[in-house]
Amino acid sequence: MSAVQVATTFETVRTPDPASRPVKIHAAKVKVTYGQKEALHGVSIDIPEKAVTAFIGPSGCGKSTFLRCINRMNDTIAGARVEGTIKLDERDIYDPDLDVVELRARVGMVFQKPNPFPKSIFDNVAYGPRIHGLARSKADLEEIVVTSLQKASLFNEVKDRLNEPGTGLSGGQQQRLCIARAIAVSPEVILMDEPCSALDPIATAKVEELIDELRANFTIVIVTHSMQQAARVSQRTAFFHLGHLIEEGPTDHLFTNPLEQRTQDYITGRFG
């Protein structure tokens, strides 16, 4: 079976949610090409609101590529081209009239490696609200910073050293600082690209706990290499393989009762 046939005849296996949630992000036939190479061959998925959706799959399967389409981070890569439609609340995010800066304020992102700005902890969190003009006064800004740090369960650890550089924190604290920075601009969606892959198990547990808390207010999409993590934090899971979305469904269903042979093989560790 050649790659072209796969691309044209492919059908994703879907299992609907038992408790149906409203759709936040709707993607249809999303293809991404880097130069001549097609990295994503038409992915369609509905991502529910105020829930954690995990993307799993082996390296190079296109899960990060798809994640970066949702806030148009692929725009920054020379030669990347995106086809198909992605809608956020019924609005096409690749519409030329849509402002990409506004989109990124609505769709925050946390990266694989903690990347705080080389500034103070306070300024790290305050940067987003400042450039978007979200705070009317200094007290307002302080309140945003404090609540964001609290929501990221970091406040108690750093409340005495808000003016110290964010780069001086430990890896796990830095990642939670990045999450605080993302939620300070009150986004609707938070994209997380393997947020725990550079962290130790204890820091990972803290971040996972935090993700679980954040789901009450935000729609979260998380890319992860760890199937255990996907099982722990997500409500829905999507399995990517070689640029295709193979199967998606409620997390417990996908891990206990996968419908596709390849999903079964991956979660049982037969390839990876």
Partner 1 sequence: MTEATSSLSASRIGGSETRSISKLDIGLKRRYAAERRFRTYGLVAVTIAICFLVALFGSIVAKGYTAFQQTRISMIVNFDANIIAPDGDRSPAAIMAGNAFRFDDLIAASLQSTLELDPNDEDALYDGLDLLSKGSAPMLRTMIAKDPSLIGTKRNVDFYATGDVDSFVKGSIRADIPESQRLVKDRHIAIIQKLEKEGALRLAFNTGLFTNGASTRPELAGVGVALVGSLYMMLVVLVLSLPLGVAGSIYLEEFAPKNRWTDLIEVNINNLAAVPSIVYGLLGLAVFINFAHLPRSASLVGGLVLTLTTLPTIIIATRAALKAVPPSIREAGLGVGASKMQTVFHHVLPLAMPGVLTGTIIGLAHALGETAPLLMIGMKAFIVEYPTTPFDPATALPTQIYMWATEPERAFTERTSAAIIVLLAFLLAMNSLAIILRRAFERRW
DSSP letter at 213 equals: H
Classify residue 202 as exposed, middle or buried by CB count within 10 Å of its CB (0-12, 13-18, 19+): exposed
Interacting stretch for partner 1, rule CB under 8 A, among 34-42, 49-57, 105-113, 215-223? 105-113
Query: Smallest distance from the beta carbon of 80 to partner 1, in angstroms?
Result: 12
Window 222 to 251, contacts with partner 1 (CB under 8 A): none
Query: Smallest distance from the beta carbon of 118 to partner 1, in angstroms?
Result: 5
Instruction: Report if residue 88 touches partner 1, rule: CB under 8 A.
Output: no
Q: How many residues in the shown chain lie near partner 1 by CB under 8 A?
A: 32
Give the span between the Cα atoms of 141 and 126, in whole angstroms. Answer: 7
> Which member of 63, 151, 176, 181 binds partner 1 (CB under 8 A)?
181
Q: How far is CA 119 from CA 122, 127, 142, 167, 241, in A?
A: 8, 10, 16, 8, 39
How far is Cα of residue 191 from the mean position of the Cα atoms in its chain?
Answer: 2
Instruction: Report if residue 101 touches partner 1, rule: CB under 8 A.
Output: yes
> Which member of 64, 65, 71, 74 binds partner 1 (CB under 8 A)?
71
Query: Smallest distance from the beta carbon of 10 to partner 1, in angstroms?
Result: 27
> Which member of 18, 96, 201, 269 binds partner 1 (CB under 8 A)?
269
61 or 178: whose CB is closer to partner 1? 178
> Which member of 13, 34, 50, 165 binds partner 1 (CB under 8 A)?
165
Provide CB contacts within 8 A for 69, sequence distance 6+.
Answer: 27, 30, 32, 40, 82, 86
Instruction: Report if residue 108 touches partner 1, rule: CB under 8 A.
Output: yes
252 or 261: whose CB is closer to partner 1? 261
Residue 270, number of CB atoms within 10 A of its CB: 10
10 or 111: whose CB is closer to partner 1? 111
Give the span between the Cα atoms of 166 and 106, in whole angstroms. Answer: 24
Q: How far is CA 124 from CA 14, 63, 146, 157, 194, in A?
A: 40, 28, 12, 16, 21
Tokens describing residue 167: 């780069």
Instruction: Report if residue 141 touches partner 1, rule: CB under 8 A.
Output: no
Query: Smallest distance from the beta carbon of 5 to partner 1, in angstroms?
Result: 30
> Which member of 51, 61, 178, 210 binds partner 1 (CB under 8 A)?
178
Q: Report whether 238 contacts 47 (CB < 8 A).
A: no
Give the span between the Cα atoms of 215 and 190, in whole angstroms. Answer: 10
Would you tell me which residues interact with partner 1 (CB under 8 A)? 71, 73, 76, 78, 101-102, 104-105, 108-111, 113, 115-118, 127-128, 131-132, 165, 167-168, 178, 181-182, 184-185, 269-270, 272
